[in-house]
Homo-oligomer: A and B are copies of this chain.
C-alpha cells in the first residue's frame, strides 16, 4: 500500500559504494557513514537495507562474486562465433585474474575479503563456493579443449585447473602488490597455458 522502493537496486548501489571505499583505503575504513555518503543515500537508508554492517559487507562480497562468475560464464556462453577452446581458456582466465585496470577495484575487494575470511564463517563459505564453481568451470574448459584435440590428452583436467586458478590468483596478488604490471602478468599466464596445448613447440 504505501511507498514502494526498489530495494534490490539500492542494495546494489550500496554494495558498489562499499567496494569503491574498500578499494580506496582498505576494509577497516568502511564506516556506515562513509558508505552512505559514497552511495548518495542517508545513513538511515543504509541501515534499512542491511540490518547490520556484517550483512552489508557480506552482500558486497556476494555482489562481487556474482559479478566475476557471470562475466566468466558469459565469456563462454555468449561467444557467437565458436572459438578455439584454448582461446576460450585464455580469455576466461585472463578475466578471472582481474588484470585489466577496470578490474583493479574488484581484485582489491576480493583480496580484502579473502584476508578477512578466517574471521568470518559466512565470508569463508561464500569464498569456498565461488572457488569451487570457478574450478569446475576451468576444468570443464580443459576437458572441452581435450575433446577438440587442442589440449594434451595426458593432462588431468582437475589438477591443471587447480594450478591455473592458483596461478591466476597469484598474478592478481602480484599486480596488486606492484610486483607486476597487468601486461606482464597476462603474458605469464598465457605462457603457462601455451604449455598445455597439443601443438606446443616440442612433443604433442
Using a CB–CB cutoff of 8 Å, the interface residues on chain A facing chain B are 23-29, 108, 111-112, 114-119, 124, 127-128, 131-132, 135, 159, 162-163, 165-171, 173-174, 176-180, 184-185, 188, 191-192, 195, 202-203
Contacts and interface: CB of A to CB of B under 8 A. Distances in A.
A131 B170 contact: no
14 contacts: A26-B28, A27-B28, A28-B28, A108-B115, A117-B178, A128-B177, A128-B179, A131-B174, A131-B177, A162-B188, A166-B171, A167-B167, A167-B170, A170-B171
Given A162-B180, A167-B170, 20 more contacts: A25-B119, A26-B27, A26-B119, A111-B115, A111-B173, A115-B115, A127-B177, A132-B179, A159-B191, A162-B184, A163-B167, A163-B191, A165-B170, A166-B170, A166-B171, A166-B174, A166-B180, A166-B188, A169-B169, A173-B173
Contacts of A131: 174, 177, 179
The residue among A135, A165, A177, A203 with the most chain B CB atoms within 10 A of its own CB is: A177
Contact of A118 (B108, B115, B165): B108
What is the total number of copies of this protein in its complex?
A: 2
B112 A115 contact: yes
Contacts of A119: 24-26, 29
Given A128-B177, A202-B203, A114 B111 contact: yes
A145 to B, nearest CB: 18
Contact of A124 (B23, B117, B174, B177): B177
A32 to B, nearest CB: 14
A99 to B, nearest CB: 12
The residue among A25, A27, A162, A203 with the most chain B CB atoms within 10 A of its own CB is: A162
B28 A127 contact: no
Given A163-B191, A203-B202, A177 B117 contact: yes
